[in-house]
Structure 1
Amino acid sequence: METPKSLAVFLAVVALLAAPAAAGWSTGSATFYGGSDASGTMGGACGYGNLYRTGYGTATAALSQVLFSNGASCGQCYQITCDYQAEQRSCRPGVTVTVTATNLCPPNYALSGSNGGWCNPPRAHFDMAQPAWVQIGVYEAGIIPVLYQRVPCVKQGGVRFTITGFNYYELVLITNVAASGSVASAWVQGTATNRLPMTRNWGANWQSLAGIAGQALTFGVTSSGGQTIVFQNVVPAGWTFGMSFISNLQFSY
């Protein structure tokens, strides 16, 4: 017997809504913060500062402690959809959004993980910028169950280096990283120094304790995806603290 057209359409919709789970996505939850223009998301534990100016925009999220991994996840991109199978009334079905990790959602041990302590371990939780969250969730719900997965980050232009601090303490913010999005390790070499390993200070900020002020600088950066790029003399001699430099190189997808 032929399946009625309306039933066929219904079954197709159900299959579509169930597809993300079948594709091996992970389960988590999501709330929102920062206001309708995401102005309250500026700054954050990754150190990206003004997210409008640094290119991250309003499609961002603060990660719960287990996802944030002490800053190692800064810059990573996640595709997120509301888990329609778990909560139909709160979801916008069939919609996904891609966000970049720019902040930490700290745990609140005064509240239980099922009642306000959304970012407590071991929960996988995204406190998303409001403009991104409302694409997948109904505003009145406040918190929704989600399915998520890591995806490559798509960026325009090259990797950027912003140098602050003072001589013998250089703090380098590495931003606009494509592909895996996050940095696993870095080193710096001045025109009058050997190659020197850098260490993560906080978020996406990497530090060097060498006397390299005023020298042209070369950086070597290894992404969390395992690709290494050498940014030869990306910072010219005569630079001063507070300046940013944009390379012409980018990590491949």
Structure 2
Amino acid sequence: MELNFKHQLGLICVILIFPALCSGKEYYTKSRAAYYGTSDGYGNPRGACGFGGYGRTVNDGNVAAVSAKLWKNGGGCGACYQVRCKIPLYCDYNGAYVVATDSGEGDRTDFILSHHAFSKLGRNKNASEALKKYGVLDVEYKRVPCTFKGNNIVFQINEHSSNPGYFAIVILYVGGTSDITSVEILRKEYRKWEPLRRVYGAVFDIANPPTGEIRLKFLVSDGSAGFHWVQPKIAIPANWKAGATYSAKLA
């Protein structure tokens, strides 16, 4: 009997690979989610990522504090997730798309959502109000690509930086499903790269930075794809100021 390509591919999936991996089905992790209240329903400007005011309104305020396993000692800052609940009467199929801006967990939760984000779990306003009465919900989630600022790394010179004695940055955004695991600064006088210290969350610093323009590079983790370095093409000018924002293409 002659097999066409489609049948051959099906046999490969059955024989060589786990059948579940060939079904095209999306896989989610089961967990629980709660929510926290702010006066306007947006995020917490004092979140542990160090995002400040940016962390309050980023992604239209659809943000979350995440558990230690997703927090990754700050490496999970800025990661994007789809979170959805499973009560057919109330829950929206797509759920909420949230950005991790803080660290925190409650009763076996992986997510403590902002009021805005928690409301997105519901099919409509009345459903969202009904869900809030549960307090804590069984949910499922998956990591999804961050796309709202393109395929870039976006970083800001931290407000506590003081040229020339102290230099710190906060990584505000990383596109796709990548994470920043390390940042290095070029010491031109020694022709070598020196690591910045992760202070907390997404904040990295160094005392007595090099004089003149500053060049950084970022070690990017792509999960199963491994690691690679990204270096912005344009240097930070010598007269840099706290609050200035820069970006670099991931690829």
Task: Work out whether the TM-score is over 0.5.
Answer: yes
Shift of 1:46: 0.3
Q: Find the aligned partners of 2:39 and 2:132 in 1 and give their Cα distance.
A: 11
- Provide the secondary structure at the position in 2 that maps to 1:67: helix
Amino acid corresponding to residue 237 of structure 1 in structure 2: A
Asked if 2 retains the 8 angstrom alpha-carbon contact of 1:173 and 1:205, the reply is yes
Secondary structure at 2:215 match in 1: strand
1:142 pairs, out of 135, 139, 163, with 135
| Cα deviations by residue, 1:92-117 (Å, 9 ceiling, x for unpaired) | 142322111000115xxxxxxxxxx4
Question: 1:83: which partner in 2?
Answer: 86
- 1:208 matched residue in structure 2: 206
For residue 216 of structure 2, the aligned residue among 210, 216, 219 is: 219
Give the conservation status (yes or no) of the 8 Å contact 1:81–1:148.
Answer: yes
**One-letter code aligned to 1:199:** R
Q: Which one of the candidate residues 135, 156, 162 is aligned to 2:157?
A: 162
What is residue 246 of structure 1 aligned with on the other side? Answer: 246
Q: 1:53 to 1:39 in 2, by over 3 A?
A: closer
- 1:148-194 deviations in whole A, cap 9, x for unaligned? 01111113265223243344542211212211253111111255453
Match of 1:185 in 2: 182
Aligned to 1:13: none
**Count of aligned pairs between the two proteins:** 210
Aligned to 2:66: 63
* Correspondence 1:231 to 2:232: yes
**Who is 1:95 aligned against?**
94
Checking the alignment, whether the CA contact within 8 Å between 1:27 and 1:124 is kept in structure 2 is: no
Contact 1:78–1:151 under 8 Å retained in 2: yes
Amino acid in the other structure paired with 2:117: A
Sequence identity, in percent? 26
Residues 61 and 101 of structure 1 are in contact (CA less than 8 Å); yes or no, is this contact kept in structure 2? yes
Normalising by structure 1, we get a TM-score of 0.73
Q: Which residue matches 2:8?
A: none
Contact 2:157 / 2:167 at 8 angstroms: preserved in 1? no
Distance in 2, Cα, partners of 1:45 & 1:227: 26
Give the TM-score of the pair, scaled to structure 2. Answer: 0.73
Partner amino acid for 2:111? Answer: F
Alpha-carbon spacing, 1:162–1:181, altered in 2? closer, same or farther (3 Å)? farther
Instruction: Tell whether the 8 Å contact from 1:160 to 1:246 is kept in structure 2 after alignment.
Output: yes
